[in-house]
Amino acid sequence: MNTPSNLKYTKSDEWFDPATGAVGLSDYAQSQLSDIVFVEILVDEGEEVEAGKPIASVESVKASSEIYAPAAGKVSAVNRELSDAPETLNSDPFGAGWMIKIEGGTTGEVMDAAAYEAYCTGREH
């Protein structure tokens, strides 16, 4: 499991980069979902989002899942390329697989990488 230490994580498996405001789906989540075949971003640039509220929906060959905002703030960017290449969430979840960027916000309930890894390990038993 890849959990970059500069990111924050939620119990619903989103990652948040406090430095850039980028939000995405964790490596753990994409591996559990398997091959992602559809991504729909539910928010647009300029909109305000609340921590814990849905921002996107993904579907895989196994299941569908809502993606929630790990922070509150204004959406400054949306990765529109994901709708044409949803598999990017599997191949590069922490790079090209970012979903939205949030600016000027406050984080919700997030964990550091070590706490998130422990949380994920606990779910596997």
Q: Are 3 and 94 in contact (CB under 8 A)?
A: no
* pLDDT tens per residue across span 38-70: 999 999 999 999 999 999 999 999 899 999 999
Q: b/e per residue, 96-123, with b = 16+ CB within 10 A?
A: ebbbbbbeebebbebbebeebeeebeee
Q: Domain 8-103 maps to which CATH number in 2.40.50.100, 3.90.550.10, 3.50.50.60, 3.30.160.150?
A: 2.40.50.100
Of 31-35, 113-117, 121-125, the range with the highest mean pLDDT is 113-117
Q: What predicted TM-score, i.e. pTM, was given to this entire model?
A: 0.93
**Where are the chain's structural domains?**
8-103
